[in-house]
Amino acid sequence: MKRPTLADVAARAGVSAKTVSNVLLGRPHVSAATRAKVQAVIEEIGYEAGHATSQAGRGLASGRTGRIAVVVPNLHQPYFAENAERLILALAQRGFTSTLRIAHDRTGERDAVLGVTTTDVDGVIVCPHHLSDELLAGAAPRRPAVALGGYPIKTLDCVLMGEYAGFVAITRHLLADGRRRLAFVWNGPVGAAPISDRYAGFLAALEEHGVEHDPSLVANSSDVDRRASGYEAMVGLLRRSGPRFDAAVCGNDTIAVGVLKALHMHGIRVPEDVAVTGFDDTDEGEFTIPSLSSVSPDQGAMVAAALDLLIERLDGYDGEARQVHTGMHLVIRDSSAST
């Protein structure tokens, strides 16, 4: 009678041969459920990992580095720096090492995800700026890859934050406090209408309350990741319109920090004259003067979901790309407190 092989175990358990060898060698990056399934099959079919088989298993496992690439567009934006740290620490808790990569443009993000510049790792987690279906053009990554934030990608596992719901909620908060002339500060070319779930959520809340949106109160910044851009956008709005608004809804916390400085420099009180809100709930917002109201996209839950998706891929899952939607909650501080 033919002795069961490692390949037989893999086929019966519905995992790859590498996953079986990882279980046999006690590698840490195998989920408890997969480990239990493989061990159950080993007992069921009577597989024995002899010396030769163990050597084969080691050869299979040697293709793994135990290292994951964490890819961000930059580190001067607190959101990306904080999430990079969260990912590196969470990966270490699960037995992985990390390599931090900066992909500062569209080509850099695409090449990192598709494996062109990440050949030395087992998988990739990217916090994207530019990633899209158009950019990937239907190409599939060479190794497991997960997008943390950004837009849905058809060929990639994605963890999506509650951007639309977050902006509905923060706008409702301002409207409930009696604010009616709401400016929207975002990144994009002057004169162009914002196109994003964040802006859509902002408009939906205004419509819900019967408040007409004034397009002249859209302020454009050149770079969503720079505080200086928020400052410049608000200065430009004040020069065009004067202080005709009583709230500034900002695309993220970084822009909001610049907005706070611009309002202060022009003698406009926050929140008495103008309330200011951000998005991301970065640590910096707790220490601005006044402290910044924001939307938390539950970064901890996002990181945990991204790791689960990645490890399932490493364990042999080869199905369709998946989307995980995490929640959000408001963090109300002094910049939008009732006056």
Q: What are the domain boundaries of the chain?
A: 6-61, 67-161+298-326, 163-296
Is pLDDT above 80 for 269?
A: yes
Q: Which of 1-5, 54-58, 317-321 has the highest mean pLDDT?
A: 317-321
Tell me the pLDDT band of 51, cut-offs 50, 70 and 90: very low
From the centroid of its chain, how far is CA 132? 14
197 touches 161 (CB < 8 A): no
Instruction: List, for residues 91-111, the tens digit of each pLDDT value.
Output: 999 999 999 999 999 999 999
Instruction: List, for residues 283-330, the tens digit of each pLDDT value.
Output: 999 999 999 999 999 999 999 999 999 999 998 899 999 999 999 999
Q: Domain 163-296 carries which CATH code? A: 3.40.50.2300
Phi, psi at 166, each rounded to 5°: -65, -40
For residue 57, the model assigns a pLDDT of 44
Tell me the pLDDT band of 65, cut-offs 50, 70 and 90: confident
Tell me the pLDDT band of 264, cut-offs 50, 70 and 90: very high
On the question of a common fold for 67-161+298-326 and 163-296, the answer reads yes
| pTM confidence score | 0.80
Is pLDDT above 60 for 130?
A: yes
The tally of CA atoms less than 13 A away on the side-chain side of residue 277 is 28
Instruction: List, for residues 203-236, the tens digit of each pLDDT value.
Output: 999 999 999 999 999 999 888 899 999 999 999 9
Least confidently predicted of 76-85, 136-145, 259-268, 281-290: 136-145
Q: Tokens 């990912």 map to which residue?
A: 87
Is pLDDT above 80 for 17?
A: no
Tell me the pLDDT band of 33, cut-offs 50, 70 and 90: confident
Give domain 6-61's CATH superfamily: lambda repressor-like DNA-binding domains (1.10.260.40)
Tell me the pLDDT band of 1, cut-offs 50, 70 and 90: low
Alpha-carbon distances, residue 151 vs 125, 223, 255, 261 (angstroms): 14, 18, 20, 30
For residue 195, the model assigns a pLDDT of 78
Tell me the pLDDT band of 339, cut-offs 50, 70 and 90: low
- Percent of the chain past pLDDT 70, that is, above it, reads 91
Give residue 256's identity as a one-letter amino acid code: A
For residue 52, the model assigns a pLDDT of 35
For residue 167, the model assigns a pLDDT of 98
Q: Which residue has the higher pLDDT, 64 or 220?
A: 220
Q: Which residue has the higher pLDDT, 25 or 223?
A: 223
Is pLDDT above 80 for 6?
A: no
The structural architecture, per CATH, of the domain 67-161+298-326 is 3-Layer(aba) Sandwich (3.40)
Token pair recorded at residue 64 = 């793994």
Is pLDDT above 80 for 117?
A: yes
Residue 315 three-state SS: coil
The mean pLDDT of the chain is 90
For residue 10, the model assigns a pLDDT of 81
Within 8 A by CB and 6+ apart from 314, the residues are: 19, 29, 122, 123, 144
